[in-house]
Chains A and B, each alone.
Chain A
Amino acid sequence: MTDSLTHRRGDTFGLWHASARLSDRVRRLRDEYFAFRERDHFRNEVMPFGTGSSWDRVFCPHNWTVVPEMVPFLVGYEDTLAVCAKPVAFDEQLYNRPLPLRRAEFFASVIERHLPVQILDGELIVGGQFNTALSLTLTRDETADYDHQEQAFLAQLKELDHLGVGNCGAIPGHLIPNYAKVVRLGLRGIVDEIEPLIEARPDDVEGNALRCGLIRVARAARRFARRYSAEADRLAGETRDTMRRGELLEISRILQKVPWEPAETFHEAVQSLWIVHMLIMAAESYPGPGLSPGRVDQYLYPFYRSDIEAGRLTQARARELIHCWWIKHNYAYDYQGRVGNNQGINSSFGQLITLGGIDADGNDASNPLTWLMLDAIGELNLLEPKPNVRLHRNTPPDLLRKVVELVARAQGSPFLLNFDEHSMEGLAWQGLPRELLWDYAPVGCLENTLQGNDRSGTVDVNLNLAKAVELVLFNGRDQATGRQIGPKTGDPATFADFDAFAAAFGVQLDHLVDWIIDVNNRADAIRARFAPTPFLSLLVDGCAESGKDITAGGAEVNLLTVEGVGLATAVDSLLAVRDAVYERERVTMADLVGAIEANFEGHEKLRRMLAGKCPKYGNDDDRADAIARDVSRHWTERTRRHVSPTGKRYRGGYLSWNYWVAYAPKTSATPDGRKRGTYLSNGTCPVTGCDHQGPTANTRSTGKLGLETAPNGDSHTITLSPSLLRDDEHLDKLAGFLRGYTTEGGTALQINVIDPETLRAAQADPAAYRNLLVRVTGYNAYFVTLGKEIQDEIIARVSHGA
């Protein structure tokens, strides 16, 4: 019994580490990845490639503008990358061709001749360096036009950011390419579909230019894979290890075949998938932002099953292949590895895999590969790929229980839990046909999309909802700058009742939605005009058919997403105004505005009353939650009215990334008793410390938001004390909670299981806690790499939760 207790404690409370069951090969590869400083023989750091022209541009600021911390450095990145760019032979004649074709030609040259090819010792899945900066291949005149438009966009973006309204940009990734099709048909199969389109539409000159570009890059990818095949051959000739020689010859054989030909074995399918995934990262010049493999346990399962049935594959070998494949994803971070700790939250790219969920008939779709992959997640203890499990009403109890055990074992951090019924309801609201929805999967952190045909532009626009409260209080003025940035909705002291206040809030919110979307439309148009990505377009359904690059709206599903930040801060502010000013008359509006103007300096009594004695969102209080629902539906419905110049409809979501920190100093004090600088609320979470009724009440408040109008998906995080997961009985309770969440909660949930002592210890001694993963706003991060502010916020949340 004592043994069992010790064991249990070790499992439940010990820090999550890589499993002792990892094979020597995998352990070595994993350690090699973490050896950032020592690993001189291989680095996946950014490699710029240019045309050599004096006006060449190899970096797109609009790709990075949702990372406001980077904005001051964009010029530096642009210049240094341009200076370092390796020239690639580029035929002057190409400048006469349409841009998508030019870009295709350039990308093809890079991967056929320049992108380094390197195989690490022992690895079974190959394809190493993919971090690029690629020339836009613009003419001198186009460059002038591009620069002009980009600068105009940047000026507006900086203003939005400076004022704390939000940020936006045309962000790469954040989609699931049609990997399922690549493994099934090969790139050849995709080319076979494009060629007849060209023949059938001889007059579609522009479309056919793109289609020719798609074929060009598909063939280049084949040549690129064969460069790896040749490298494997070379290494096979050099090695004295007969076992390794056999592996290298097999790798060589596989890369002669895939991704061009259909995969026929599990190993071939995984290799085909990885090489294509890696080339998309290279094509978009951005290492893995939300470029997500999707439902890997579904589309890889036929290969796994037939190999196992035929006796070609053992489970142990399959496990090792999965490990080798997944380690590769982590190299997206390689360029940060040597910079040191405190990378801030940018240390998470989010190549999200999805396991479980339902099939086309609504039945549970889990299979033996689902289980194998769940094991692999627990064993590897790595940041990427980020795992998501789709749960639904009929998730088998043993699978749910397995997920709960992993959550408990790994401090909760590795998992996003996505809830099918509510997620699908949102996608239906957004206008997608119901019969397609069963096969959805999230990308990046938690953003729901369809697979293979959907570019939903998640995190392209991030809006600070709490800013609208400030604008109502100051009649449309930004408090810090004194500038009139919103409509004049009147002096709030003259408002007759709460309805008048709420109406003014709605007007300000509409203005902010319209404004930020207007700025983002510029970024969307710039990318469509100047930065087509033919290799990605090849892999997303609709582009070849429509003859439009994915950046120009060629995908079958085209959306742009506005992510709401600070929902609960805004809601609690409205609640405090209703309660303290209009219902209990504890303070006049004029005095409240005065106190906020003074950032509550000298008004601590009032501030404490507002913070402690007014209703708060997140407590299953129907009257409070109704306001939250109104706010949520108001801005998301406003958002949905907008369509970008490239035909992409806007939709809402709640992924606050780290903006609840970034915009805190740029938002005035708020009527909920928050001072300027105190963090805004995160995702759909209540304001930290304001949910007093526990996780079921918090969950029901989330459910009442009516989140179908925010179909992107909604970040809801709860923190549980480890004592709650201390034995089988309590793990069953958590499983019961998740089952209940399916009907009562929102679209997605993350659970942190951690005690404040561990976090404080990690803060004090980062080296000893390097692999402590936590989940923040929908993405995993190594705790010790987070900035101190965010670390402190997590500790505050955990302390409250415990």
Chain B
Amino acid sequence: MTEPTGILFNIQRFSTEDGPGIRTTVFFKGCPLTCPWCHNPEGMECQAQTVWQASLCMGCGECVEACAEGAIQATDQGISIDRMRCRRCGRCVDRCPGGALELVGREVTLTELLDEVRRDEVFYASSGGGVTLSGGEPLMQAAFAIPFARRCREAGLHVALDTSGFASVDRMAEALACVDLVLFDLKHIDPDEHQRITGVPLDVVLANLDRVVDAALPVWVRTPVIPGYTDDVDNLRGIARLLRERVPTLERYDLLAFSNLCTGKYAMLDRPFALAGEALFDAERMESLCEAVRAEGIDVVRWSGPTRSALSEGSLA
């Protein structure tokens, strides 16, 4: 029997923003949603992608020589990668002396990944942390992600699933059987808007949220607050009402302030970023949205993320 493998774009140790305690967050590639603000755009595609970072490039041309497919060209604007031709062999990455070329997405076996996440076991135990499956949408790689979550649980690790909520109900049920906590994204309360901005129907997401409640799992619901998309106070009020009525296992409700730190990542992936140049919120705005949510009876709301003043990243206990 061959061991299952998954394709990841990052394994982040000492992760402090993806659940309780100190965690290792495993970022799975591939996502069925198409949210234009996605701050991990390298998680959207299922396959590995070759990316080029201008600031690290020496302009030596080694990569052009290395590519057997002729997919790489040196242009006036720097290195251009023909993504139709690129076979993701990594030869250019290996040859690049400055580290400007990188293959985003690597294949790992279950055993390798388990060995990696167990390295910080002591810190999970000392801080009440564990492992978080994130992405992308981890359930896009359910055949790998679910056995991985199960093996983590068997090893005594606390497992959190960070999900968009978009998966078949059966797949979600299977996953919920091997996690301790769900970080559940809920972006918009209006079905049409939800379909329009995320590309997937809201009812599937809500049905899966019901499964989480049925499984009696603690859940941290999260809403990215995005200018022009989800930041309408009525949207947040609507989500808050739904949480009050339908999610008795809610432990936290997090408002994640829009971040533009991903602008460079979009450029590297040759993807347009619809929110490039969009301003950050100020802390007062985030605070007033929290107030609106509280007014609907959700006291466990807090916000985090970058805001206009560099030092004001904050949240409320």
Question: Which residues from chain A sit less than 8 Å from chain B, CB to CB?
Answer: 1-2, 4-5, 8-9, 13, 604-606, 608-609, 612-613, 620, 693-697, 700, 722-724, 726-730, 732-733, 735-737, 739-740, 743-744, 755, 757
9-residue interface stretch from B126-134, B211-219, B268-276:
B126-134
Chain A positions within 8 Å of B287 at CB level:
1-2, 5
25 contacts between A and B (CB under 8 A): A1-B316, A5-B287, A5-B316, A606-B97, A612-B99, A620-B13, A693-B13, A694-B12, A694-B13, A697-B14, A726-B315, A727-B316, A729-B315, A729-B317, A732-B127, A733-B21, A733-B127, A736-B21, A736-B126, A739-B126, A740-B122, A740-B125, A740-B127, A755-B310, A757-B311
**In the complex, are the beta carbons of A737 and B314 less than 8 A apart?**
no
**In the complex, are the beta carbons of B119 and A700 less than 8 A apart?**
yes
8 Å CB interface, B181-196 against A: none
Cα distance A606–B60 when bound, in Å? 11
For the residues of B in contact with A, the DSSP-based class is loop
Q: Which residue of chain B has its CB nearest to the CB of A2?
A: B287
Q: Which residue of chain B has its CB nearest to the CB of A731?
A: B317
Q: A727-B315, A728-B317 known; A736 and B97 CB under 8 Å? A: no
**In the complex, are the beta carbons of B98 and A9 less than 8 A apart?**
no
Cα distance A13–B311 when bound, in Å? 7
Cα distance A2–B288 when bound, in Å? 10
8 Å CB contact of A605 from B21, B60, B127, B291: B60
Chain B positions within 8 Å of A724 at CB level:
16
8 Å CB contact of A737 from B12, B123, B316: B123
Chain A positions within 8 Å of B122 at CB level:
740, 743-744
For the residues of A in contact with B, the DSSP-based class is helix
Q: A727-B315, A727-B316, A728-B317 known; A612 and B97 CB under 8 Å? A: yes
Q: Which residue of chain A has its CB nearest to the CB of B12?
A: A694
Whether, in the assembled complex, B225 has its beta carbon less than 8 Å from a beta carbon of chain A, the answer is no
**In the complex, are the beta carbons of B311 and A604 less than 8 A apart?**
no
Cα distance A724–B22 when bound, in Å? 11
Interface size on B, residues (CB 8 A): 34
Question: Which residues from chain B sit less than 8 Å from chain A, CB to CB?
Answer: 12-14, 16, 21-22, 56, 58, 60, 62, 97-99, 119-120, 122-123, 125-129, 283, 287, 290-291, 310-317
**In the complex, are the beta carbons of A733 and B119 less than 8 A apart?**
no
8 Å CB contact of B97 from A5, A613, A726, A728: A613
Q: Report the minimal beta-carbon distance from A624 to chain B, rounded to whole angstroms.
A: 14
**In the complex, are the beta carbons of B315 and A697 less than 8 A apart?**
no
Cα distance A726–B317 when bound, in Å? 10
Q: Report the minimal beta-carbon distance from A584 to chain B, rounded to whole angstroms.
A: 9
**In the complex, are the beta carbons of A605 and B123 less than 8 A apart?**
no
Cα distance A735–B16 when bound, in Å? 13
**In the complex, are the beta carbons of B97 and A696 less than 8 A apart?**
no
Q: A9-B312, A722-B311 known; A697 and B126 CB under 8 Å? A: no
Chain B positions within 8 Å of A726 at CB level:
313-315
**In the complex, are the beta carbons of B60 and A736 less than 8 A apart?**
no
8 Å CB contact of B13 from A609, A697, A733, A739: A697
8 Å CB contact of A733 from B16, B125, B315: B16
Chain A positions within 8 Å of B127 at CB level:
732-733, 735-737, 739-740
Q: A13-B311, A726-B315 known; A736 and B123 CB under 8 Å? A: yes
Chain A positions within 8 Å of B22 at CB level:
696, 733, 736-737, 740
Cα distance A361–B36 when bound, in Å? 61
Task: Give me the 7 closest cross-chain CB pairs, A-B, nearest first.
Answer: A736-B127, A694-B14, A739-B126, A740-B123, A740-B126, A612-B99, A609-B97
**In the complex, are the beta carbons of B16 and A730 less than 8 A apart?**
yes
Given A5-B316, A727-B316, 16 other A-B residues pairs in contact with their CB atoms under 8 A? A1-B291, A9-B314, A612-B99, A613-B97, A620-B119, A697-B13, A726-B314, A727-B317, A732-B127, A733-B129, A736-B123, A737-B14, A737-B127, A740-B22, A740-B125, A757-B310
Chain A positions within 8 Å of B56 at CB level:
612
Q: Which residue of chain B has its CB nearest to the CB of A693?
A: B13
Q: Which residue of chain B has its CB nearest to the CB of A4?
A: B316
**In the complex, are the beta carbons of B126 and A696 less than 8 A apart?**
no
Cα distance A8–B315 when bound, in Å? 10
Chain A positions within 8 Å of B283 at CB level:
5
Chain B positions within 8 Å of A604 at CB level:
58
Cα distance A348–B242 when bound, in Å? 59
Cα distance A625–B127 when bound, in Å? 25
Q: A733-B16, A740-B22, A755-B311 known; A697 and B98 CB under 8 Å? A: no
8 Å CB contact of B314 from A609, A620, A697, A727: A727
**In the complex, are the beta carbons of B58 and A605 less than 8 A apart?**
yes
Q: Report the minimal beta-carbon distance from B18 to chain A, rounded to whole angstroms.
A: 12
Q: Report the minimal beta-carbon distance from B103 to chain A, rounded to whole angstroms.
A: 13
Chain A positions within 8 Å of B12 at CB level:
694
**In the complex, are the beta carbons of B314 and A605 less than 8 A apart?**
no
**In the complex, are the beta carbons of B314 and A8 less than 8 A apart?**
yes
Cα distance A601–B283 when bound, in Å? 49
Chain A positions within 8 Å of B58 at CB level:
604-605, 608
Cα distance A739–B312 when bound, in Å? 28
8 Å CB contact of B128 from A4, A612, A736, A744: A736
Q: Which residue of chain A has its CB nearest to the CB of B62?
A: A605
Chain A positions within 8 Å of B314 at CB level:
5, 8-9, 726-727
Q: Report the minimal beta-carbon distance from A260 to chain B, rounded to whole angstroms.
A: 49
Q: Report the minimal beta-carbon distance from A585 to chain B, rounded to whole angstroms.
A: 13
Q: Which residue of chain A has its CB nearest to the CB of B123?
A: A740
Chain B positions within 8 Å of A732 at CB level:
21, 127-128
Which one of B22, B62, B97 has the highest number of Cβ atoms from chain A below 10 Å of its Cβ? Answer: B97
Q: Which residue of chain A has its CB nearest to the CB of B288?
A: A2
**In the complex, are the beta carbons of A695 and B98 less than 8 A apart?**
no
Q: Report the minimal beta-carbon distance from A347 to chain B, rounded to whole angstroms.
A: 27
Q: Report the minimal beta-carbon distance from A696 to chain B, rounded to whole angstroms.
A: 5
Cα distance A8–B312 when bound, in Å? 11
**In the complex, are the beta carbons of B123 and A744 less than 8 A apart?**
yes
Cα distance A755–B309 when bound, in Å? 13
Cα distance A730–B23 when bound, in Å? 12
**In the complex, are the beta carbons of B98 and A608 less than 8 A apart?**
yes
Q: Which residue of chain B has its CB nearest to the CB of A613?
A: B99
Cα distance A4–B316 when bound, in Å? 8
Chain A positions within 8 Å of B123 at CB level:
696, 736-737, 740, 744
**In the complex, are the beta carbons of B129 and A736 less than 8 A apart?**
yes
Chain B positions within 8 Å of A697 at CB level:
13-14, 119-120
Q: Which residue of chain B has its CB nearest to the CB of A13?
A: B311
Chain B positions within 8 Å of A730 at CB level:
16
Q: Which residue of chain B has its CB nearest to the CB of A742?
A: B126
Cα distance A66–B311 when bound, in Å? 40
Chain B positions within 8 Å of A757 at CB level:
310-311
Cα distance A722–B315 when bound, in Å? 13
Q: Report the minimal beta-carbon distance from A101 to chain B, rounded to whole angstroms.
A: 56
Cα distance A744–B120 when bound, in Å? 9
Q: A1-B287, A732-B127 known; A696 and B120 CB under 8 Å? A: yes
Q: Report the minimal beta-carbon distance from B98 to chain A, rounded to whole angstroms.
A: 4
Chain B positions within 8 Å of A13 at CB level:
311
Cα distance A757–B310 when bound, in Å? 9
Cα distance A740–B123 when bound, in Å? 5
Chain A positions within 8 Å of B98 at CB level:
608-609, 612
Chain A positions within 8 Å of B13 at CB level:
620, 693-694, 696-697
**In the complex, are the beta carbons of B126 and A737 less than 8 A apart?**
yes
Cα distance A733–B62 when bound, in Å? 44
Cα distance A695–B316 when bound, in Å? 25
Cα distance A433–B60 when bound, in Å? 60
Chain B positions within 8 Å of A606 at CB level:
97
**In the complex, are the beta carbons of B316 and A723 less than 8 A apart?**
no
Cα distance A620–B115 when bound, in Å? 12
**In the complex, are the beta carbons of A723 and B99 less than 8 A apart?**
no
Chain B positions within 8 Å of A722 at CB level:
311
Q: Which residue of chain A has its CB nearest to the CB of B294?
A: A1
Q: Which residue of chain B has its CB nearest to the CB of A756?
A: B310
Cα distance A723–B312 when bound, in Å? 9
Cα distance A693–B287 when bound, in Å? 33
Cα distance A612–B314 when bound, in Å? 35
**In the complex, are the beta carbons of A608 and B99 less than 8 A apart?**
yes
